[in-house]
Structure formats: structure tokens, C-alpha cells
């Protein structure tokens, strides 16, 4: 069942609210930084090495923590600490807000889809579970997935959301966009393995800086007209 639930969580049709976000792709398109499949793939690769790497590590840590502690005060405290560490590595308020909005939507959908026990566990998380990466790790643990699975879901999410947004914004060839995602798959898997190892050994979250992405997200939030929330 866990493999099936992994597919559900990775499916863009799962109602986790991510369809309303572009991960900075809308502003990148508006600024002329993403104009075609080639420039989109470069943008996605950059996201994967920055926010994707951070989210993968946070998701893996949240999965290990949730599976190890179970619901209760200790888990709330641990996730609050993880959320604080994640906040410290996200200098953009827009990035933090988008992460928390998507995380809350994901947990709400997981609670409804996974049943009463999942809803009860999620209700005890507190605000520490709101970040998308942390929510992904919690959801993975509730689905019986491993920390590497959680990290892979987070890494995949970091590129599939902006890819989908750019596809709609630019009318790109969907086959070419899909091929670009496939080319990034090997790096996604490598990041997931590294994140899983770090989570198992208690390593610190990385701090990959991406000032250009932070600026895109901040400028996007100031726009009066936009199709996406981020």
C-alpha cells in the first residue's frame, strides 16, 4: 500500500494546493529568464540544487522524526525545532509563506484521504508541520514510506510545480517539458539518498543559498496581476 500512496502524494491531481503556485516560474517568465524548454530546464536545475535540496533534507528529517516519535508533545517540539531551522534558511518571507500555505493544504488533504488515524495525528502537530517539506515528511511517515521516499517526493515537487506552471504560461511542448524532468531524475534520486543518509545520522540541514530565486518570489508577491500565488 505504501507504494501506491507514494504515487498518490506525487500525483499533481492530489488536492494539496500546489497547482496554485509556480515556485517563482511566473516571475521568471515575466522577466524573460524562462522563455523555452532549454531555459526552463536550467531554471529547474537551479531550483533543485537550492530549495529542492533543502526541502529534501527537511522532508527526510520530518519523516524519520514522525516515525520515531509518533504523535504527541515530543513530536510537536521536534517539528517546531525543524520548522525554525527551515525558516532560518528561507530568507524570503514570500518563500516561507508559500511553503506554509502549501504544507497546510497538503496536511488537510492527507487527513481527509488517509483516514481517521491520520487526521488525529495531524491535529496534534501544531504549526511546526505547516512547512511543505515538513508536511511531506509527515505524510510520508503516515503512509509507511521511508525517509528517502519523503526526500524524493520533496525534490520532485520542487521541479514539477514550476515545470507545470511554465507549461501553462508559455504553451510549451508537454513532451519536451516531461523529457526535461526525466533528465533531472537522476539528480533528484541522488539528492534523496543524500538527504536520507543525513536524516538517519542526525546531520544538520544544508543552507543552499539562492538569492535570485528569493528575489523572484519577493517581486512576484508585489505584482498586482498574477496567475499564481507564488
Greatest mean pLDDT range, 16-20, 124-128, 133-137: 133-137
> In whole angstroms, what is the distance from residue 209 CA to residue 92 CA?
11
The 10 Å Cβ neighbour count of residue 228 is 21
Domain coordinates in residue numbering, the chain: 21-222
Burial of 191 (0-12, 13-18, 19+ CB in 10 A): buried
Domain 21-222, CATH:
1.10.4190.10
pTM of the model: 0.94
pLDDT at res. 3:
83
More confident position, 96 or 3: 96
Q: What is the average pLDDT value for the chain, to the nearest integer?
A: 92
> In whole angstroms, what is the distance from residue 132 CA to residue 110 CA?
12
For 144-167, write each residue's pLDDT tens digit. 999 999 999 999 999 999 999 999
Question: Would you state the cell numbers that stand for residue 62, as one nine-digit string?
Answer: 520530518
Predicted confidence band at 12 (pLDDT cuts at 50, 70, 90)?
A: confident
Of 163, 157, 186, 193, nearest to 176 by C-alpha is: 163
To the nearest whole percent, how much of the chain has pLDDT over 90? Answer: 71
Q: CA-based Rg of the chain, rounded to a whole angstrom?
A: 16
User: DSSP letter string over 101-143?
Assistant: HHHHHHHHHHHHHH-HHHHHHHHTS-GGG-SHHHHHHHHHHHT
Could you tell me which residues come within 8 angstroms of residue 137 by beta carbon, excluding any fewer than 6 positions away?
A: 58, 59, 60, 61, 62, 63, 64, 65, 66, 147, 150, 154
To the nearest whole percent, how much of the chain has pLDDT over 70? Answer: 100
Q: Residues 23-38: what's their mean pLDDT?
A: 96
pLDDT at res. 156:
96
For 63-86, write each residue's pLDDT tens digit. 999 998 878 889 899 999 999 999
pLDDT at res. 1:
57
Amino acid at each position: 500500500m505504501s507504494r501506491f500512496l507514494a504515487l498518490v502524494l506525487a500525483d499533481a491531481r492530489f488536492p494539496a494546493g500546489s497547482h496554485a503556485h509556480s515556485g517563482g516560474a511566473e516571475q521568471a517568465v515575466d522577466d524573460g529568464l524562462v522563455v523555452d524548454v532549454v531555459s526552463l530546464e536550467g531554471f529547474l536545475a537551479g531550483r533543485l540544487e537550492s530549495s529542492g535540496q533543502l526541502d529534501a533534507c527537511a522532508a527526510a528529517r520530518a519523516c524519520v522524526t514522525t516515525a520515531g516519535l509518533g504523535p504527541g508533545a515530543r513530536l510537536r517540539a521536534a517539528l517546531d525545532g525543524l520548522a525554525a531551522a527551515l525558516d532560518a534558511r528561507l530568507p524570503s518571507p514570500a518563500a516561507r509563506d508559500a511553503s506554509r500555505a502549501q504544507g497546510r493544504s497538503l496536511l488537510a488533504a492527507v487527513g481527509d484521504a488517509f483516514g481517521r488515524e491520520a487526521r488525529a495525528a495531524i491535529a496534534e502537530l501544531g504549526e511546526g508541520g505547516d512547512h511543505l517539506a515538513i508536511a511531506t515528511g509527515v505524510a510520508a511517515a503516515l503512509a509507511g514510506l521511508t525517509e528517502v521516499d519523503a526526500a524524493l517526493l520533496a525534490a520532485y515537487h520542487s521541479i514539477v510545480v514550476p515545470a507545470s506552471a511554465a507549461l501553462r504560461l508559455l504553451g510549451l511542448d508537454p513532451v519536451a517539458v516531461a523529457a526535461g524532468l526525466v533528465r533531472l531524475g537522476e539528480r533528484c534520486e541522488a539528492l534523496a539518498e543524500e538527504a536520507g543518509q543525513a536524516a538517519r545520522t542526525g546531520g544538520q540541514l544544508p543552507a543552499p543559498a539562492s538569492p535570485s530565486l528569493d528575489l523572484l518570489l519577493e517581486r512576484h508577491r508585489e505584482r498586482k496581476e498574477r496567475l499564481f500565488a507564488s
